[in-house]
Structure 1
Amino acid sequence: MPVNIYKRSYIVLNPEDKGCSFEGKEVSGYLKLEFRGNRGRVTAALQNLNPDYSYNLKLLKSNGDVVVVDFGALKVDDKGRGGGEWTFDLEDVKGSGLKWEEFSVILVEAHDGEKFLVPLVSQMNKKSSNWKSAYRKYLIKRESEESETHKEETVEEKKVEVSPAPETVYEKIEAEEDALKENLEEYSKKEENKEEADYIKYLKEYVNNIVNFLEEVQPFEKNLEGYRWWKVKTGYREGSFDHYLVGFVKDEKGDLKYIVYGMPGFFTLSDQPFAGMTGFVVWKPVREGFRGPRDEGYWLMHIDAKTGQIAVPIEPTPPPIIQN
């Protein structure tokens, strides 16, 4: 992929194993993929996950020798909403020695200390072999290896005799704990500042990529005040739907306030992305006043530029349940 080409796509995750949903609701989610040169970024947005479980996002190569790459843990709040973001090298994904194209499945793994489930999955390569069978074999092998390691550690522990610590040692431990606590607090503040600086740097780079390398357009007959739009071609859909919009909205001071995504679609429930669960809750027609089920328009999602969270600054426009 040429260095200056930026590409974005979405992967819808499909429900797989049952057993770790939030309040009996069906789990759902999607992944946003961003590529530029050899760099990749994956952002996860998930719904209705039981927060009592731990979750990880993983890549699976199921053909030939099974390879599993763990992107890392997904954070899930007390309402079942989960997410995470990771960067990687397209030519060597997370040090695996494999290219992105060599992986066939991306999945969410759930575990509670005893059992493993796959509540969400997407099969990226439809020609791949039975991924679930391959993944089960991988889990069985891993469990066997961990069991052997635990046995070896237990034997070593029995060989070591521990003497009770004298009173002076306990006083020293308490002092070290206090110092460690102070260091951790200072480190935590530095990490928060670093994350904020990294986010601002990424945001500037992202905006520059859009403005410098993509086509600015005016998709609406009557534009929303203060909005500027750029078109991103995807190569995944047919005709006039083979793209999406990226928009920027600035505040009174000229600072970036919202990043807006526009997915082409009709004003129907079937065309609303993820039934509005991921923030696409506003529909705007291309031609002002044309709001029929076959009139072209865009479903819009707003992102708060400062927090990175979904925002709803415009009143939602739910589609009619019954179409004429």
Structure 2
Amino acid sequence: MEFIYTRKFVILRDDLSSILGLKPKGHALLEIRENKGKMSINIDRSEKENFYKVYLVGVNDQDFIEKEIGRIFTDDRGKGNLEILFNPKNVGDDEYSIDKYSAIVLRKDKNVLLTGYIDEKNKFLSKYISQIDENSYSREVYQEEKVGPAEELPEPRVLEEVEEEIIKEIIEEVEEKVEEVGEIQEIEEVAKEELLRDEKAVEEIVENTEIENEEVPEETFQNVETKFEYGEDLDIEYIKQLSYKNQMSNYVLNILRFFPYVKPFNANLEGYDWWRIEYDGADIHRGFLPYYNYLSNMYNVYPFMPNATTCQELIAKYNHYLFGLYRENNDIKYYMYGIPGTFTSLEHPYRGVTGFNTWFESADGIGYWVLYINSMTGKVIFPINPMTPYY
């Protein structure tokens, strides 16, 4: 089947949203030319520093069909965008072509953010949402903040005007990326000093340690380079942040070559890569990976918790920790630290105050407490629904 040129603009609405306290808005642009498909999605006023899965939904005979086609990550303003390329004959290597799908749904588990119809002839989303599997797996739910009053998203008048609005919105979004630069610059200076100081330490570790690495796909170590296409109008501070992020990411990937790549969790977490860092009894307060001070120095900030378990104690007990990357389209979104420990109050690092509030069960039955760090800003991401054991 050959597809002729198709271009559709879809308004994403919140009338079926089940996430309270938000008035999100968004739109999607679907383009099909011959046998190449592209979908661009933009959202606003959603949860900040979070992510949503994007589904195409349709009806086949009497059954609903859905296909997850990607994830949208939001920034600290609640904005996010995603561009997806696909084969319209079999979307995501599935058996169904694009014309089998007539709706777009953005959600986390059963919690729906936005919906929109590609084809409004058959409106079925209310029934579909009522049948969403309540056991859908997702634990990465991030910080909720208050959102200002919503404004109505204007209906497109003509196609050319809509396209101009999309381009303008994307450019404005890029220009608004920078805030709290002072804090980032401070982190940058500390990180640069750590990189220079610890290169010799890493070389010593490599020379004195024999590691049998699990075979890692070659693309895992591709150099990171985030590109931008908006000429010279980008804020200079944002460009500096982007450049530093790329340098840091490439440094990290080079270091991680010397450590075993592992898949420690029972669940298959898509987009996650993990490496195991052994503890050899050396100075536990000194690390060579980015933002290691979140593990070694945080406890000094909380003297009111003298009996709280520290990351250092758990690392020494289990003789290792994990370092991880979460990537979307080869772009590193989050750095992660995984501290071994059971889902108990006795092994909950700092009782969750510093951000270790996501726990995943591991194959050995112990599990890991995970800390998420925004790779652009260096800020810790705190869960909106922390996984806290009973005290």
TM range (shorter): 0.3 to 0.5
Q: TM-score, normalised by structure 1?
A: 0.41
Larger fraction in strand: 1
Q: TM-score, normalised by structure 2?
A: 0.35
The structure with more radius of gyration:
1
